[in-house]
Structure 1
């Protein structure tokens, strides 16, 4: 079973990033994110932090899955969020921009095989120019928020309207471009619902914040330095609990989340953010429910 109608419903089953075999064949490495220009994290640090992350999820009652090793031509399987996304009871397999990431989906195929096939509920864009990445899609309160960004284009937005517009309200968001002095890679690096009615937001990343956000959420504002440390990129375990970085610039945001009545579990997590992704980027939820 797969299901997701809200970012903050209770997390029951999730695929997390694979640290094993990271950058095992450097000859196949492709610069995926700007952050990687400063160097790639050591595997020992990745191992320690991902195993701790997995233990925290398991202790919270979440079933944790890890992608299979795809091959040496995929050097980075840390951030499965972009591979696909569960929307309602369907799985959207994304078409990613970067060449080296397009094969990552093979690592989760065996989990997709377990999805009941009473209807065609695995959706794949037909057009090779239709780009969508899971980090640009957030589902909450009957809306699908989708960013037109470095990695998702307008054709991807139209595809979501075609596939899900009869059930969800599709809310396009235009992210500011690199040329405008911003390097917000995905929507979840500048917006993330928290608890029942709050949301983290980095307003400077938006060309315009839609009313579906400003009129609905109590906004916790993140500044540029905090955004660069991915303070927005938390993972909700439920409406009552989130996982966030144990980092000096994230702590003020974590304290503001606590003031909304949500428990914050702080975890040391520095290696993956050095490549451009934190807790939400490093997870692909398969099952969320209000149970």
Structure 2
């Protein structure tokens, strides 16, 4: 499993990088508040540790190879959500060009892991120029499509770059999301849209400026309301088409039950510390291999 491979969001997860809780907020002088959730208060390592260890255990119990980023240093205070660092598309890996200065050095923690991976050369792609903004939480690869959320963290130049590189193999779909300044707590696309199962998707319709026709036509919706979205009920991680990991939280329970009704096994785990920083299970994972 040393070749980049991801063509669908729900294909069996074989190799993944998860967030690193060790070293979180090691030096308060470097902490930068980068989203609305963090303004409510940040967790500490003692809260994060048991939740991440349990998450890792359940992934490994399902046969997933789990990697953890190397410690970058005290100036990178948060390595919890590696999803934003990059994205595996087909048999290539695209490095993100991130908006917030405090997050740009997180990539150093995963360099040894992605450097050992193979793919069609060049297997690792770097966006040219600072005007191209991309974050992995805004990019979903599914059913021959690359859905690209365009809002506060990924821009149209990022979409154009992906279309230039992958347009001959995938259908690129721009998805315009409502951002925080529009009164919507939608940091990335995966906070408002996430394919699950064989044909379903968790979806928060109010998070879109307009829902693309292909999302209307290709997916059976499990709709999320504003309260559920605020608790990141959309932000589950699929282990395969039949299994997801989701928060064990009262405001996620209805969504979990709806997934169960359509035949999806839902592994419900306590996970409250990382969501307090703005990311749940999908944000805290960076798949390298789905096969």
* Length-normalised TM-score, structure 2: 0.98
Q: How many residues align?
A: 289
How many angstroms does 1:112 deviate by?
A: 1.4
1:137 aligned partner: 139
How many angstroms does 1:149 deviate by?
A: 1.3
CA contact (8 A) 2:85 2:135 kept: yes
How many angstroms does 1:9 deviate by?
A: 0.1
1:80 aligned partner: 82
1:157 aligned partner: 159
1:276 aligned partner: 278
Distance of 2:272 and 2:282 partners within structure 1: 14
How many angstroms does 1:64 deviate by?
A: 0.2
Structure 1 residues 5, 118: CA separation in 2 closer, same or farther (over 3 Å shift)?
closer
SS at match of 1:242: strand
1:250 aligned partner: 252
1:287 aligned partner: 289
Corresponding position: 1:262 with 2:286 = no
How many angstroms does 1:17 deviate by?
A: 0.1
Deviations 1:88-129 (A, max 9, x none): 000000100000000000000001121226621100001111
Corresponding position: 1:205 with 2:211 = no
Q: Aligned ranges for residues 43-62 of structure 1 at < 5 Å? A: 43-62=45-64
Unaligned runs of 5+ in 2: none
SS at match of 1:269: coil
SS at match of 2:149: strand
Distance of 1:177 and 1:276 partners within structure 2: 14
Unaligned runs of 5+ in 1: none
Distance of 2:94 and 2:120 partners within structure 1: 16
Distance of 2:250 and 2:120 partners within structure 1: 48
Deviations 1:211-262 (A, max 9, x none): 1100010000000000000000000000010000000010100000011111
How many angstroms does 1:50 deviate by?
A: 0.3
1:224 aligned partner: 226
1:89 aligned partner: 91
Deviations 1:10-56 (A, max 9, x none): 00000000000000001011112111111111211100100000000
SS at match of 1:157: helix
SS at match of 1:102: helix
1:239 aligned partner: 241
Residue among 26, 30, 37 paired with 1:35: 37
* Length-normalised TM-score, structure 1: 0.98
